[in-house]
Amino acid sequence: METTKTHWLLHVLFWGIACAAILPLLLVLIVSFTDEQTILLHGYSFWPEKFSLEAYKYLMYDSATIFRAYGITILVTLVGTLGSLLITSTLAYPLSRADLPCRKGFAFFVFFTILFNGGLVPWYLVFTQLLDVKDTIWALIVPGLLLNGFNVLIMRTFFANSIPAAVIESAYMDGAGELRIFAGFIVPLSKPVFATIGLFSTLAYWNDWYNSMIFLSDSKYYSLQYLLNKILLNIQFLSQNTQNNNASAIIGMLPQETVRMAMAIIGVGPIVFAYPFFQKYFIKGLTIGAVKG
């Protein structure tokens, strides 16, 4: 009887948490389809008096730019995530092997990069002067996102705690080399942690706007998040700095509040649909990878 009550309490708790997460997103969606004047008069509401598509019409006025930014962001996310998984796993796997020479030193070096960095100016100079990624698609893939020390440590811990040593030893006895062991045995057994790190990388690349701001002056390479942010800043600038009365009236008609919500929906949409594909492995990969340091 006591166990049944506990289960009901847990169900109610989790339903409450789910509603707390879903309702704000639902409100953003509804507000994005609400008339601007209705928002100004009555504020946000789950049951608006008047629906409108003006926010989406405004964003799609230059639809070619939006779709190009979508394509750039999708390409960068796919290439960056796959590259990040490849580099992270090939670094984490040797660190998980007890027979690696100077293993602790390499692990400390990875950990050190989580705590300290060289600063913004050296970081910028390395990628613009040494690697020359400025105004290229690589500026959205390489700087700051391709390799993350935290992800390396999670994956290393997963390999060390979840891959039986007997599997590696038997593969050695069958004549398999290191590359064959990694590709044929380690990767298939490590789907949870690959899904977890893949989700982290996907979110990082999809939500990134900073690299576009720092490294790009050519608008054809702008990411979706930076483009949407730039549109919002342009609206705010025009509304605050327009002196002409006629122009002010026109600017005042722009859907400033609803367009913010429409941008959020456009930006978050693909990630919401992608998350269920990762969910199966996400919790298992994160918890197993966090058992030990």
Contacts of 23 by beta carbon, 8 Å cutoff, 6+ apart? none
CB 30 within 8 A of CB 46: yes
Mind listing the pLDDT tens digit of every residue in the chain (293 residues)? 556 767 788 888 888 888 887 888 888 888 888 877 777 777 777 887 788 887 788 777 777 888 888 889 989 999 999 999 999 999 888 888 888 888 888 888 888 888 888 788 888 888 888 888 888 899 999 887 788 888 898 888 888 888 887 878 887 877 777 888 888 888 888 888 888 888 888 888 988 889 999 898 888 888 888 888 887 777 776 666 665 555 555 555 566 777 778 877 877 777 777 776 666 666 655 555 444 44
Q: Is the pTM of this model over 0.75?
A: yes
Q: How far is CA 42 from the centre of its chain?
A: 34
Contacts of 253 by beta carbon, 8 Å cutoff, 6+ apart? 36
CATH architecture of 61-288: Orthogonal Bundle (1.10)
**Would you list the domain boundaries of the chain?**
16-52, 61-288
